[in-house]
Amino acid sequence: MDEKVEYDTLEDSLKRCGSSWDAAQTHGLLTGRLAIAGAPAGPDWLIHVLEGVDEGNALRKECQKHLDTLYQSTFWQLSERLSEFEPLLPSDDDDVWLRTAALAHWCEGFLHGLVSAKHSDALKERLGAEPLSDVIRDMLQITRAGLDDESDEEENESAYVELVEYLRVAAQLCYEELADIRNAKSESK
């Protein structure tokens, strides 16, 4: 799947249509929901992100096209297991402060995606056990991420890159770890 949505494009589109979600949160939410529900998560995710936005709004329709592309590419990245998954974050050319804030928002969205879906006892148990409990705990810490004023730009940049890589791997791990939960949901329908 070659078609992707750029962070700035989605951020602008979400703001212009009146969504209360930013691009990083939106992608985090989608990733968390896909981990739990797989492909069927798309419609609920879309409704959640565009809640309160007038359906007749032409800007909503444009935004929905970007969101549909994001959904397709993210689902493909996770389901194909080719290690191509990347959290949707600002460009490396953007200020590290902005990127760090977006990283925290991505984690907020991801965690919301995990906990806001309907939970079976099996899912609750899985989320409370290692390695997923560790990922959840780490992401909670990242939601409070900030830059160290005492560190130089190179150290902050290095820390940011490490966190992005951690999120990339953690999201794929969650998707893999929850495969049987997704399969059980699809079999029960």
pLDDT tens for residues 154-168? 888 898 999 999 999
Average pLDDT over residues 48-52: 95
Residue 83 has pLDDT above 60, yes or no: yes
The residues spanned by each domain of the chain are 7-188
Q: What is the per-residue pLDDT for 57? A: 86
- Mean pLDDT across the chain, nearest whole number? 91
**DSSP label of 151:** S
Tokens of 154: 């190179």
In this structure, the number of other CB atoms found within 10 A of the CB of residue 51 comes to 10
Residue 70 has pLDDT above 80, yes or no: yes
Residue 126 has pLDDT above 70, yes or no: yes
Residue 138 pLDDT grade (very low, low, confident, very high; cuts 50, 70, 90): very high
Encode 138-155: b = buried (16+ Cβ within 10 Å), e = exposed: ebeebbebebeeeeeeee
**DSSP label of 2:** -
Q: How far is CA 28 from CA 70, 129, 131, in A?
A: 11, 21, 19
CATH number of 7-188: 1.20.120.740
Most confident of 82-86, 103-107, 179-183: 103-107
Q: What is the per-residue pLDDT for 156? A: 84
- Name the strand (E) or helix (H) holding 182: helix 179-188
The residue that leads in pLDDT, 148 or 1, is: 148
Residue 119 has pLDDT above 80, yes or no: no
Residue 146 has pLDDT above 90, yes or no: no
Tokens of 26: 């939106």
Residue by residue, DSSP assigns 77-136 as HHHTTSS--------TTS-HHHHHHHHHHHHHHHHHHHHSS---HHHHHHHTSTTHHHHH
Q: Tell me how far apart the alpha carbons of residues 165 and 182 are, in angstroms, rounded to a whole number.
A: 25
- Name the strand (E) or helix (H) holding 17: helix 7-17
Q: Is 33 helix (H, G, I), strand (E, B) or coil?
A: helix
Residue 187 pLDDT grade (very low, low, confident, very high; cuts 50, 70, 90): low
Phi-psi region of 122 (alpha: psi -120 to 50; beta: other; left: phi over 0): alpha
Q: What is the per-residue pLDDT for 184? A: 80
